[in-house]
């Protein structure tokens, strides 16, 4: 039986809803495509880019606590995030700070209305 995205530690209902909007409906689908492609699809579906959400996704798929990313690993992920963000610049909504985008990703604040 397929497991929901929210069965992955660090990813809750808000993440699950964002991935559903991107066409990723199960934890297995997300694991199969990996963090980078999953994040690309989130951006393509309109999620505002933010580094925290990106590295939380990496940590989640590795079964690690969200705040376990440090030092050289975090710098490496930042470079990958910046590259993915640059690929998708024309397709993502602008206007929110990284903090606001992270709070939105985790469901703390609502998405801006169009």
- 73-89 per-position pLDDT tens digit: 999 999 999 999 988 76
In-domain check, residue 114: no
The least confident of 1-5, 84-88, 93-97 is 93-97
Higher pLDDT, 23 or 91: 23
Those residues whose C-beta lies under 8 Å from the C-beta of residue 49, and which sit 6 or more positions away, are 43, 81, 84, 85, 88, 92, 101
pLDDT of amino acid 97: 62
CA-based R_g, the chain, Å: 13
- Total structural domains in the chain? 1
When pLDDT is averaged across residues 96-110 and rounded to a whole number, the result is 67
Burial 38-53 (b: 16+ CB within 10 A, else e): bbbbbbebebbbbbbb
Give the pLDDT of residue 71. Answer: 95
Mean pLDDT of the chain: 87
Residue 41: which CATH number? Answer: 1.10.150.20
Range of the domain at 29: 5-105
């Amino acid at each position: 039986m397929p497991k929901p995205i929210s069965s992955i530690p660090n990813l809750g209902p808000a993440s699950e809803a964002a991935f559903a909007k991107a066409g990723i409906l199960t934890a297995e689908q997300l694991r199969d495509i990996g963090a980078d492609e999953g994040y690309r699809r989130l951006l393509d579906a309109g999620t505002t880019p933010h580094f925290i959400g990106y590295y939380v996704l990496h940590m989640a798929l590795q079964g690690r606590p969200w705040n376990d990313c440090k030092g050289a690993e975090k710098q490496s992920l930042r470079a990958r995030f910046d590259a993915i963000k640059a690929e998708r610049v024309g397709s993502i909504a602008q206007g929110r700070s990284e903090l606001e985008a992270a709070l939105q990703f985790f469901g703390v604040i609502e998405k801006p209305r169009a």
